Amino acid sequence: MLKVAVLYPDLLGTYGDGGNAAVLAGRARARGIDLEVEEVTIGAKIPSASLYLLGGGEDGPQRLACDLLSEGGLIDRFNEGANVFAVCAGLQILGTSFSIEGDASYPGLGFVAATTTRGLSRSVGDFVTDVQGRMMVGFENHGGVTVLGEGVSALGDVVMGRGNDGRVDGFRAPRLIATYAHGPVLAQNPWLADELLSEITGQELAPWSSVADRLYSERCALLSTRRSDAGHIGG
Amino acid sequence: MAVMTLRLSWRARVAMGGVVATNLLSRLLGRGSGTVVGGRVGLFIEPKLLTVLSRSRSVVLVSGTNGKTTTSAMLRVGWGGDVAGNVTGANMTEGHVAALCASSAAHAVLETDEGWLPIVVSATSPAVVVLLNLSRDQLDRANEVRQMAQRWRDCLAPEKFLGVVVANCADPLVVYAAESSTNVRWVQVPTVWRADAASCPHCTRALIFEGSSWSCECGFAQPTRVTARLGSVLEIGEQSYALNLALPGVFNEVNTALAATALYELGENVADVLSRIRTLDSVQGRYGLRRYGHREVRLLLAKNPAGTAALLESLDGDDDVWVAINAQVADGKDPSWLYDVPVEALRGRRISCLGERRVDLATRLTYAGVDSEVVDDFELLREGTARVTLIANYTAFRDWMGRTSPC
Ligand SMILES: [Zn+2]
């Protein structure tokens, strides 16, 4: 059976990102795919899983989560073939370093070359990224500025909001996606949820329509009008 | 009325006049109750107006993420007689100033926004500060919850505050905030919401929850020397009391326990206090029955995951359930908190989804395996016979107060 592990929702669950697991489970169930969700809380061992989910969190808990993920060997699981999907603080943890609580830099897990420093202001609001021609809608709430190293691909181009730096959002590598989008992002973007699900099952998914499709199209319609009302926002 | 002889400077008198005049004008112009505007004018004329108005009164402050308005109402009713208070829910300094200008009562109960608590403690020198709980609320505009606990802790330390703190000791973040005070009365109550206090506020290790208590390896633990304890009855001091409230839910029993303990500290007779609190059957439209077309509707306010989880536990089995979710500034612009609510408790019901973010809500319910319907035209809901429980967040609640009428 497929397993999705939600890593430390007690530390990285401040912004409803635990919902991403509920979305994957719901969409799998609708296709008759057996998928188990395991919440890995502080003190528990990181289990073997097809996909690991990381969410957003506050500064202190973010550092603790980073330590636990490092001790728990998340990178080994990834190197052995597991997928990782990370949001916000989770994204920052996967990079080479991040600054929180003042300007002291803290080493990340180093999945990709990406450094996060504290920006001058916090970005809070609706957030849209163009992911290879597809709109990814969500909500962002963070104060970080993330710079990608040579050869690291962004997830997409920012259309509204900040993402990494006002131009691009997140990063993407084989079996790895990271974004600043909350919402939770997989609830707001059913196509992205299916893309992930398809990757971990290794199969084409049967189409399944639900009210989530209406949510996605309404959010896209609304945010695209707001964007043209406000002139050019973002990158 | 003239309970109090205020010695006021000319400036404070002019400032008070400003508050009253502005509020009157604002009401005449039909711009709401005007409390905030009036308070703002008064504070402009006399920045220390809140301090001046609090002098020679016995003030109780109530703060926390959930239950502030209800607990404040319980304190006012439970205290008995004439009690000043910000009954319109304007819970920052301007609202407090307006409330104290409007009443000369010797007793005042002020519902206080969590972020404003340090300023209001310093301005009013309250006799008692009641701390209910701390959990995530409207994260896109509020401070993160641990930072809030730290700010409370700082403002309750003996260098800054010498009054009594009445605190919910089941909530680790509240305990962290209150333990800086040398004058705490702990109230032990049942609690279900712990998601925001999983790691120790002192050392970030995982807190260990065992039965009804919690502790950390570093020594931080649930206080055991309690003044009051809520189980099947409420024990305060040496006595036990049955609650038998008109308001629903365990969370309202918890609010009562904290309110009654505060009044006990102020020397009131607990049995009398409780008999007065039992008369409360609605607070600012909440819990009371209202009418929408042919339907009887019980309106409940749910602003955040902890509050909503508590409401879901108290649902009446036979009611139709409508849920209305908006995402205005006052609600928090991001409705993703819906994924932190254990909506699985609604399985087996069919939920009518209302409000601007009804499609977000229906999506959330779908993934939780709860049957739901997006209602685009709420006029259609007027027909029907079953009684309705309507759970709404802040601005949606206000909308539905407007659409329904008193029974
Ligand atoms: Zn500790």
Residue B260 sits in the same domain as residue B299:
no
Confidence of residue B14 (pLDDT cuts 50, 70, 90): confident
Q: Indicate whether B284 belongs to any domain.
A: no
Residue B235 sits in the same domain as residue B362:
no
Residue A104: per-residue pLDDT: 82
The CATH number of residue B152's host domain is 3.40.1190.10
What's the topology of domain A2-206?
A: Rossmann fold (3.40.50)
Residue B384: pLDDT above 80?
Answer: yes
Q: Indicate whether B283 belongs to any domain.
A: no
Closest alpha carbon to B283 in B12, B87, B145, B65: B87
Residue A193: per-residue pLDDT: 98
Helical (H) or strand (E) element with B406:
strand B405-406
Confidence of residue B34 (pLDDT cuts 50, 70, 90): low
Structural domain span for residue B11 = 3-277
Check residue B174 and give left, alpha or beta (phi > 0: left; psi -120 to 50: alpha).
Answer: alpha
The CATH number of residue B351's host domain is 3.90.190.20
Residue B252 sits in the same domain as residue B299:
no
Q: What is the pLDDT of residues B294-330, one digit of tens each?
A: 999 999 998 888 889 888 888 878 899 999 999 998 8
Q: Indicate whether B282 belongs to any domain.
A: no
Cβ-contact B69, B283 below 8 angstroms: yes
Residue A233: per-residue pLDDT: 42
Q: Is A214 close to B374, i.e. CB distance below 8 A?
A: yes
Q: Which residues of A touch B (CB under 8 A)?
A: 10-11, 13-19, 22-23, 25-27, 41-43, 58, 60-61, 63-64, 124-126, 139, 141, 182-184, 187, 210-212, 214-215, 218
A155, B36, B40, B282 from B25: Cα distances, Å: 55, 13, 14, 29
Residue B195 sits in the same domain as residue B82:
yes
Q: What is the pLDDT of residues A14-64, one digit of tens each?
A: 788 999 999 999 999 999 999 999 999 888 899 999 999 999 987 778 888
Confidence of residue B26 (pLDDT cuts 50, 70, 90): low
User: Is the Cβ of B347 closer than 8 Å to some Cβ of chain A?
Assistant: no
Residue B22: per-residue pLDDT: 72
Residue B103 sits in the same domain as residue B77:
yes
User: Is the Cβ of B233 closer than 8 Å to some Cβ of chain A?
Assistant: no
Cβ-contact B368, B257 below 8 angstroms: no
| Average pLDDT of chain B to the nearest whole number | 88
Ligand 1 midpoint to CA A142 (Å): 27
Residue B263 sits in the same domain as residue B116:
yes
Q: Which of B254, B277, B300 is the last residue of a domain?
A: B277
Q: Indicate whether B354 belongs to any domain.
A: yes
Residue B296 sits in the same domain as residue B246:
no
Ligand 1 midpoint to CA A41 (Å): 16
CA distance A104 to B154: 24
CA distance A145 to A157: 15
Whether the link from the prior residue into B223 is cis, omega within 30° of 0, is: no
The structure tokens listed for B342 are 């254990």
Residue A184: pLDDT above 60?
Answer: yes
CA distance B141 to B148: 13
What's the domain count of chain B? Answer: 2
Residue B322: per-residue pLDDT: 97
A107, A132, B153, B214, B328 from B199: Cα distances, Å: 21, 39, 17, 11, 31
Residue B223 sits in the same domain as residue B175:
yes
Residue B6: per-residue pLDDT: 57
Residue B1: per-residue pLDDT: 38
- B41 backbone dihedrals φ, ψ, rounded to 5°: -60, -45
Residue B128: per-residue pLDDT: 98
Residue B329 sits in the same domain as residue B378:
yes
% of residues, chain A, pLDDT over 90? 80
Confidence of residue A234 (pLDDT cuts 50, 70, 90): very low
Q: Which of B277, B301, B329 is the last residue of a domain?
A: B277
- A16, A43, A126 ranked by CB distance to B339: nearest: A16
Residue B391 sits in the same domain as residue B349:
yes
Residue B206: per-residue pLDDT: 82
Q: Which of B249, B277, B305 is the last residue of a domain?
A: B277
Q: What is the pLDDT of residues B223-278, one digit of tens each?
A: 999 999 999 999 998 899 999 999 988 899 999 999 999 999 999 999 999 999 99
Task: Flag whether the ipTM exceeds 0.90.
Answer: yes
pTM surpassing 0.80?
Answer: yes
